[in-house]
Amino acid sequence: MKTWLDKWNPEDEAYWNAGGSKIAWRTLTITTITLVLSFASWFMMSVIAVKLPGLGFNFSKDQLFWLTAIPGLAAGFLRIIHTFLLPIFGTRHIVSFATAIKLIPVIGIGFAVMNVNTPFWVFAVLAFTTGFGGGDFSSYMPSTSLFFPQKLKGTALGIQAGIGNFGVSIAQFVTPLVISVGIFGASTVFTNIDPKETLAVFQNSSIEKQKEVFVALDTEVQAKILSNVKKIVIDSVSTAVNSNDNAIVFISLPNKAKAKAIANANPKLAEKIINNLSAENTAVKNKPIYLQSAAFWYAPFLIIMTIVSWFYLKSIPMKASVKEQLDIFSNKHTWYCTITYVMTFGTFAGLSAAFPLMIKFLYGDFPNAPDPLVYAFYGPLIGSASRIAFGFVADKVGGAVLTTITGLGILVGAVVLVTQGLVAPTSMDQFPLFVGVIMVMFFFTGIGNAGTFRQYPIIFKENPRQAAGVIGWTAAIAAFGPFIFSKLIGNNISSNGTVNQFFIGVAFFTILATGINWWFYNRKNCEKPS
């Protein structure tokens, strides 16, 4: 079967109308569908990680954030590799192989979640392999850029990236649905602890009983439970009772602090403690789920699209060695574009990965705490939709002005999150505004993602191959967004229970990126108007 096209010239209107258009749109359709699966599999760990403690996996808060961070780290490195693959292997081979290899994480994770004894390192390795889904973006988007003429690049790239980004929403929307259906394997009991009802248990149990139950725990477990109480409270109580004995300190805590410490422990451990305190309680909520389905359901679609890609895709005859492609790094605009895309897509991907755990650990302690997965998919959905919509706008007004608007939107969002205490909450009353601000930030990231990818082919219009390479490279670096967001947010929450410092950093970086975009690409008489 012939792999490479004999020639390709989309700027020739006669050639385009005679058959080039048909090939380009067919390629866009197939690669976009596979890209949806790529993003969905890339972000599936961000929704699976939320459920692991309730199944009995004894992973710490830091380990859970690592599981959402590692896919971003992997995708960033793999995108760097993908940046140089397209001119060597061509669209057909890249897309077919990249789609097939994602069977490794979806099957592996499906089996891993079925055994609560699966060690953390196995999950970490599998989380790294989900990066396969994030890595191939740096081949897919340059391919689309080459298949379409200048007048349609913004539209085509906006459609592909926007619809592809829907994969994040699909992963976060479909997961709650599929885990309730017994398609693959047996169910596992998922345990959820109600903080309000846990407080009632402590209010209605004697100090003697509480001490008896707590003393029966291993010393290490006791220490882990007490780590859920603010250090200032522990220190104050230890001084008051003149003792560092874990049991004495625990029973001396206010009921609210004890209840919070237990509710924030591993749910299976919390269930045991609460049931020992009160056999008749409403704090423990158990229900059967099929978490393996959250991974396994991708497999048949990946197999189908691998076959379709192999038989229906062709490659553009534009070949170059890795050495030849390195010329993009001698151009200063490669680095400026990298900074602006980190601001737009890096923020989109980072928020997509970290948003569920932010809800869980910032607002999960309050009565009537929200289910993270109920809200998680809305942000990526909004960001993806605005990317599609503004791809058409970018072709009309240019991309630079949209990127500038995006920077201002993200900056305002970060400032509001910090100044209104939304990432250092004191009550559930702040939650609606928190979600609203995050949604607005997602909306602006979509605008910026459409704007930037319209800019790059214009900035590098003298060399279409370089333009494609820059699209791949910038996408590679921005893919580290989930890693950066998840790790730094996780570190912030673990150290002081807030995310203020992180979003202050976001604000300063956004000012830098927006300034670069405005100076070089957006202001009057700028160097590269785009």
Model confidence over 97-115: pLDDT tens digits? 999 999 999 999 999 999 9
Using a pLDDT cut of 90, give the percent of the chain over it: 34
User: Is residue 266 left, alpha or beta, with left meaning phi > 0 and alpha meaning psi from -120 to 50?
Assistant: beta
* Helical (H) or strand (E) element with 312: helix 299-312
Instruction: Yes or no: say if 406 and 448 are a contact pair by the CB < 8 Å rule.
Output: yes
* Ramachandran angles phi, psi of 377, nearest 5°: -75, -20
Q: Which two tokens stand for residue 528?
A: 């590269």
pLDDT band at 159 (very low <50, low <70, confident <90, very high): confident
**What's the CATH code, domain 13-186+291-522?**
1.20.1250.20
Domains of the chain by residue range: 13-186+291-522, 191-286
Collapsed DSSP state (helix, strand, coil) of residue 4: strand
Residue with tokens 């492609």: 325
Nearest C-alpha neighbor of 401 from the set 362, 448, 461: 448
Q: Which of 449, 369, 400, 355 is nearest to 164 (CA)?
A: 449
Dihedral sign from CA coordinates of 235, 239, 243, 247: negative
Residue 318 — left, alpha, or beta (φ > 0 → left; ψ -120 to 50 → alpha)?
A: beta
Residue 247 has pLDDT above 80, yes or no: yes
Residue 70, number of CB atoms within 10 A of its CB: 24
Handedness of CA 295, 297, 303, 309 (dihedral sign): negative
Residue 181 φ then ψ, to 5°: -120, 130
Kindly tell me if the per-residue pLDDT of 128 is higher than 70: yes
Burial of 85 (0-12, 13-18, 19+ CB in 10 A): buried
Residue 266 phi/psi, 5-degree rounding, is: -55, 130
Q: Is the pLDDT of residue 360 over 90?
A: no
Under the banding of pLDDT at 50, 70 and 90, the label for residue 228 is confident
Instruction: Report the pLDDT averaged over residues 337-363.
Output: 89
d(CA 143, CA 304): 21
pLDDT at 490: 81
Q: How many degrees, rounded to 5, is the angle at CA 52 between CA 182 and CA 259?
A: 120
pLDDT at 288 exceeding the cut of 70: yes
Confidence at 171, pLDDT banded by 50, 70, 90? confident
Q: What pLDDT, on the 0 to 100 scale, is given for residue 17?
A: 92
Q: What share of the chain is helix, strand, coil (3-state, %, to 5)?
A: 75, 5, 20
Specify the DSSP element, H or E, that contains 289: strand 284-289
Q: Which stretches of 316-462 are assigned E, i.e. beta strand?
A: none
Query: Using CA atoms, how far apart are residues 133 and 41, in angstroms rounded to an integer?
Result: 6
Cβ atoms of residues 76 and 477 within 8 Å: yes
What is the chain's mean pLDDT, rounded? Answer: 88
**What b-and-e string marks burial along 353-376, b requiring 16 or more CB atoms within 10 Å of the CB?**
bbbbbbbbbbbbbbeebbebbebb
The whole-number pLDDT of residue 302 equals: 96
Name residue 298's amino acid.
Answer: Y
The per-residue pLDDT for range 480-491, each reduced to its tens digit, is 887 888 888 888
The Cα 176–Cα 193 span in angstroms is: 18
Residue 1 has pLDDT above 70, yes or no: no
The DSSP code for 428 is G
User: Each residue of 406-447: pLDDT tens digit?
Assistant: 999 999 999 999 999 999 998 889 999 999 999 999 999 999
Supply the pLDDT for residue 104. Answer: 96
Rounded to the nearest 10 degrees, what angle do helices 481-496 and 500-517 cross at?
150
CA distances from 46 to 67, 82, 190 (A): 7, 23, 17
Residue 334 has pLDDT above 90, yes or no: yes
Rg (C-alpha) for the chain, rounded Å, is 25
- Compute how many other C-beta atoms are within 10 angstroms of the C-beta atom of residue 335: 15
For residue 469, what pLDDT is reported?
82
Q: Do you know the residue count of the chain?
A: 530
Q: What is the pLDDT of residue 503?
A: 95
pLDDT given for residue 483 in this prediction:
83
Q: How confident is the model at residue 121 (pLDDT cuts 50, 70, 90)?
A: very high
Q: Mean pLDDT over residues 37-45, rounded?
A: 89
Terminal Cα-to-Cα distance of the chain (whole angstroms): 40
**Residue 260 pLDDT:** 85
- Name the CA dihedral angle for 440, 407, 448, 420, rounded to a multiple of 10 degrees: -20
Q: 3-class DSSP state for residue 497?
A: coil
CA dihedral 186, 192, 197, 201 (to 10 degrees): 70
Q: What is the pLDDT of residue 251?
A: 87
Give the span between the Cα atoms of 264 and 460, in whole angstroms: 52
